[in-house]
Chains A and B, each alone.
Chain A
Amino acid sequence: MKNKLSGVLRKKLWFIPIIIIVIRLALIGGTIFGKNSLLISVAAIVVLLVLVVTVQAGLFSGQKQQRDDTQSILMDVGDGVAEQLAKVGLTLASVHTIMISHLDIEHTGGLYAILGMRFQERITGELTIYGPPGTQQMVDGMIAGLQPQVNCSQAMFARIPIAAKRRVQARVVEVANDSTFTIEAIRITTASSTPDETDNAASAHVVSYRFDMPDTRSLLHTDDVVRSSNVERLAQKVNLLTYTLNHRMMP
């Protein structure tokens, strides 16, 4: 412990982050302590400063947060999926990728809450959403719907520069047939099909995702109810196939 502390202090530039922290704390002092005397703010800042230095030096390593390095990819995101994640012991912060098969509400209804929770819980990691054409428009609408809450948060923390800049963010990638990309050493290939082949523009695109994992396992996630040569090709020699049965909304 002593070594760690002296290690931090020995670094020539150690005081720069500390000064930044002091300025930041001074800025938020008003928000934290309201209209109480400046003295309390200053005293608190000094105490906090000591705490920051000691925590950074690892003196309270027992209280240090274990960083959650679990990474999760969500396949479809129905209403209540955040609670279902909690039931299998995963945090929302672990989800960095969401793959949407199609835009029916039972596959997308939980995304609005996830975007909002990420904002409200201040989860900072990037979120990428893959989905059929229309996904970008759907996410844009959700972000517009969350705007009053973002405005409220920004107004509340107007004095804290970092907090005042926060917004709801997600990177959307609309995928077509036969797209290939790699996430964390997993190779993903897509197949796209439409239930009503005669009218592409007006019918739902369904994207099937094949996951080829480094350990040679492969998985195909599809929600297609129409026989599709694209999906059949994608399913060649797959280890595990997840398929939605009795899909009542499709003709």
Chain B
Amino acid sequence: MIFTTLGTMGGPVANPQRSQPAHLLHNNKQAILIDAGDGTIAQLTKAGVSLQAIHTIILSHGHIDHTGGLFAVLGTRFQEPVASELTIYGPPGTQQMIDGIIAGLQPLIRTMPARVPTSTPNALQCNVIEITDGSLFTIGSTRITAATNSHYSFKPGSKNAFLYQSLSYRFDMPDRSLVYTGDTGPSPNVERLAHHADLLVSEVIDPQAGMDKARKSHRIPFYVKLILMNHLKKQHLTAEAVGSLAQCANVKALVLIHNALDTEDIAIARRTIGLHYHGPITFASDLESF
């Protein structure tokens, strides 16, 4: 299956060049949507993949940049209508989120029968499966493993650490293996998951650049800046951390997404990663395939 980036932006501040996080794992028969940020519908069209082809959505975590497009995806499925079944995998909380979205679509649903008789509320039904660390499931001939990562800072073993999880995924396909970090900080769990993967698709961040983006967007309180800086440093991967992850996990190739870096910063990040990891490194744009 081919991995196609739909959105390679990092963080929720909208960007004119990079769409919000969403990716596809697809062949000519099936398509799996991995995360669904705002603009997913338009990006799918640009990638030439129809909504009908998508039978599975896999969510890494609930942050809005990774889930903001779900209302449009479910609503468009209902309105078109798309008859195929949809299964959504995600961390705990996914069911509650989908329930809310479907509740929000009720006013639209009420208006539909008079206009599009083939569109029944059944078109909205989707099968939500909440997963956690170590969950294993199979889609077609792809075996998928989930692992919790360090994007959320709750104390391991605490109730909150169970309620709010951010997941990384490994896709073992017949011909190759791919690991998607989602959003994470340095994490031994992700390193284990990525061990000897053919392709590591990883987030990357520059804490200072991320901070500047947030500040340019609008005025934020002083204490928020402190929290944000801490979050960017510890719960995301700097270039150095990505290089170290790729090297320790001994992956064959590295693709970088979730990228809020400017062109100059990318050149610096590439050099920094190269100090640790000596395999091929690609900074992906939207709509690139691997």
Interface residues of A (CB under 8 A from B): 21, 24-25, 28, 31-32, 48, 52, 65, 67-68, 78-83, 85-87, 91-93, 103-106, 108-114, 116-117, 119-123, 133-135, 137-149, 151-152, 155-157, 160, 162-163, 195-196, 199, 202-204, 249-251
Contacts and interface: CB of A to CB of B under 8 A. Distances in A.
Contact of B107 (A83, A93, A135, A156): A135
A45 B6 CA distance: 43
Interface stretch (B73-81, B179-187, B200-208, B247-255): B73-81
Given A82-B38, A110-B38, A117-B68, A104 B97 contact: no
Given A80-B19, A119-B64, A249-B79, A203 B115 contact: yes
A152 B62 contact: yes
Given A86-B15, A134-B107, A155-B160, A122 B220 contact: yes
Given A142-B101, A145-B98, A147-B100, A83 B76 contact: no
A113 B100 contact: no
Interface stretch (B136-144, B224-232, B260-268): B224-232
A16 B9 CA distance: 41
Contacts, number: 238
Nearest to A64: B219
Contacts of A144: 96, 99-100, 103-104
A134 B110 contact: yes
B154 to A, nearest CB: 7
A138 B72 CA distance: 12
Contacts of A31: 227, 230
B166 to A, nearest CB: 10
Contacts of B227: 28, 31-32, 157, 160, 163
A192 to B, nearest CB: 14
A23 to B, nearest CB: 11
B164 interface: yes
A109 B154 contact: no
A199 B152 contact: no
A135 B106 CA distance: 10
Interface stretch (B23-31, B191-199, B210-218, B269-277): B210-218
B230 to A, nearest CB: 6
Given A145-B98, A148-B62, A103 B15 contact: no
Contacts of A103: 107-108, 111
A141 B72 contact: no
Contact of B62 (A81, A138, A149): A149
A52 B64 contact: no
Grouping DSSP codes into helix (H, G, I), strand (E, B) and loop, the B interface class, with mixed when no group exceeds half, is helix
Given A31-B227, A91-B217, A199-B114, A149 B102 contact: no
Nearest to A195: B115
A139 B69 CA distance: 15
Interface in B72-126: 72, 75-76, 78-79, 93-94, 96-108, 110-111, 113-116
Given A80-B39, A156-B152, A28 B160 contact: no
Most chain B CB neighbours (cut-off 10 Å) among A25, A109, A152, A195 = A109
B209 interface: no
B130 to A, nearest CB: 11
B14 A86 contact: yes
A149 B72 CA distance: 18
B13 interface: yes
Given A83-B39, A145-B104, A156-B160, 19 more contacts: A21-B222, A32-B230, A48-B226, A65-B215, A79-B69, A79-B76, A83-B16, A109-B72, A120-B65, A134-B111, A141-B102, A141-B103, A142-B101, A144-B103, A145-B96, A145-B103, A148-B164, A149-B63, A204-B111
Given A113-B71, A202-B110, A249-B116, A145 B219 contact: no
A233 to B, nearest CB: 24
Contacts of A79: 38-42, 69, 72, 76
A36 to B, nearest CB: 12
B154 A156 contact: yes
Nearest to B62: A149
A138 B105 contact: yes
B37 interface: yes
A143 B100 contact: yes
A249 B69 CA distance: 21
A208 to B, nearest CB: 17
A15 to B, nearest CB: 17
A93 B70 CA distance: 22
Nearest to B215: A65
Nearest to B115: A251
Contact of A112 (B68, B110, B152, B221): B68
